[in-house]
Structure 1
Amino acid sequence: LLKEEKFNHVFCCTDNSPQENYRPTYANIKDVLGLPEEYQEKFIEEGGGDFWFFFSGHGARKDNDQEDYLLPRDASKRDLSGTSVSVTYVRQQLRKAGADKIVVIIDACRENSFSQIGEPIQAQIREMEEILIYSCRPYEKSRELDKVQQGVFTYKLLEAFRKGYVTPQKLDEYLQLEVAKLSNQTPIIRYG
């Protein structure tokens, strides 16, 4: 996404980031999602636009509060709400930036009852100008493609963008067919 898509502003948190404050820890992700005021002001001045959030990693759901979480590298399963970033929080922060449309893409395993990201949020997505894309269904695993050192889903997502499939409907059709050729996982796209 960084190399091929032309985004105006990019905040990238990776394990390999040369800057310590852009490594994917709980505190760093919260700081980045706080979006510096100058970016919020510039985004609003430029007339909104689309705001994309892409997460590749692990996800979880805390059974007793029905909240979905993205797990940074320092997350603790014993304290999800205190060490992980909720999907609701991500969406709230992106809304504060003044975006016309929000695109949230999550490439994370969902193969057990501890990793059921997404269900409570889907109804809310239908009421807003948001697109939520998951690499797989609940109880499925999001697979890696060794030959390209990337997840199958992300690999096929980029391929879809290269081919011009950018509407949710076209992405959904393409990803359903193409991901199934390489992995036993089923992408989900919710929009509205």
Structure 2
Amino acid sequence: MVRNWAFVIGINKYLRLRSLNYAVRDAELIRDFFWQEAGFEHVFYFSDNSPDLIAPDGSVQSTQPTYANLWSFLLDFFESPAMAEGDNFWFFFSGHGIRYQDRDYLMPCDGNPRAIEATAISLTYVTERLRRCGADNVILFLDACRNEGDKAGLGVGLEKHQGVITIYSCSPREKSWEISELQQGSFTYTLLEALRIQGEGNCATVERLYNYLRYRVPLLNRQYGYEEQTPYPIVEPAPKYHLILLP
């Protein structure tokens, strides 16, 4: 039987970047969907107000999304395989992201845009650690195409990661929008909408999911008076476009 695990991160409050409004809410809703509707076996959740994790040995892991906590969790938890052939590991991040010297970085709550290499988590490191989990498929949803002030994308989304399915909330250099009327980002609102579709029109495969997102997100933005935002996929290798995500 296929097992699904997930690592979900949402950050509103930043020490050195403009805070966001609905990144934590987006992450909470994704976490709840994975747990309550999709029946995931494990969902690890880091946010501004998430509770500590208690390890099997009784040790406590803080889930505040600081650089040290995120780095150490990725290092320690993924040191040896815990999943198997056919399994899926999902990663969702909602917060700030920056492209620096041709590399994509996710900004923790204490990340410093003046010291990116020392205080941000490179997407290369994230994918390298996630691939160690033993799952056949690693799926990333990244609503990290934001810039301080106006949330303009900084080119995040140009890196390819072998063996990883990545869907970005917008195309490079577009903006990723939060919609106050929905109290959510338009990407996550639409992602949840897509994952809940049943029947013949479902979004069970990567290809179907992407086709729905690239149509529906721009439509939703126009409906609420926001600029164009088109989700952008990088799928390695290409045959994983046909992977069934959720039966």
Is the shorter-chain TM-score for this pair beyond 0.5, marking a shared fold?
yes
Map 1:45-60 → 2, pairs under 5 A: 47=85, 49-60=87-98
1:72 to 83, 103, 108: 108
Question: 2: distance between equivalents of 1:185 and 1:86?
Answer: 24
For the pair 1:109 / 2:145, whether they are aligned, the reply is yes
Aligned twin of 1:4? 33
Q: Label 1:186 to 1:113 Cα distance change in 2 as closer, same or farther (>3 A).
A: closer
Any conservation in 2 of the 1:62–1:114 contact (CA below 8 Å)? no
Q: Label 1:94 to 1:48 Cα distance change in 2 as closer, same or farther (>3 A).
A: farther
Aligned twin of 1:92? 128
For the pair 1:13 / 2:46, whether they are aligned, the reply is yes
For the pair 1:154 / 2:154, whether they are aligned, the reply is no
Question: 1: distance between equivalents of 2:191 and 2:172?
Answer: 19
Task: Measure how far apart 1:18 and its partner are.
Answer: 3.2
Aligned residue for 2:90, secondary structure, equals strand
Aligned residue for 2:72, secondary structure, equals helix
- Fraction of identical pairs, as percent: 42
Normalization by structure 1: what TM-score? 0.86
Question: 2: distance between equivalents of 1:17 and 1:177?
Answer: 33
Instruction: Please give the root-mean-square deviation of Cα atoms over the aligned residues, in Å.
Output: 2.2
Map 1:114-133 → 2, pairs under 5 A: 115-119=154-158, 121-122=159-160, 124-125=161-162, 128=163, 130-133=164-167
Normalization by structure 2: what TM-score? 0.68
Task: Measure how far apart 1:99 and its partner are.
Answer: 1.5
Any conservation in 2 of the 1:14–1:23 contact (CA below 8 Å)? yes
Higher relative helix content: 1
Aligned twin of 1:141? 175
Task: Measure how far apart 1:35 and its partner are.
Answer: 4.4
Question: 2: distance between equivalents of 1:150 and 1:2?
Answer: 14
Question: 1: distance between equivalents of 2:139 and 2:46?
Answer: 17
Ranges in structure 1 where 5+ consecutive residues have no aligned partner: none
Aligned residue for 2:229, secondary structure, equals coil
Question: 2: distance between equivalents of 1:35 and 1:48?
Answer: 23
Task: Measure how far apart 1:147 and its partner are.
Answer: 2.7
For the pair 1:43 / 2:83, whether they are aligned, the reply is yes
Q: Which range moved further: 2-11 or 133-142? A: 2-11
For the pair 1:23 / 2:64, whether they are aligned, the reply is yes
Question: 1: distance between equivalents of 2:152 and 2:50?
Answer: 32
Ranges in structure 2 where 5+ consecutive residues have no aligned partner: 1-29, 53-60, 222-227, 238-247
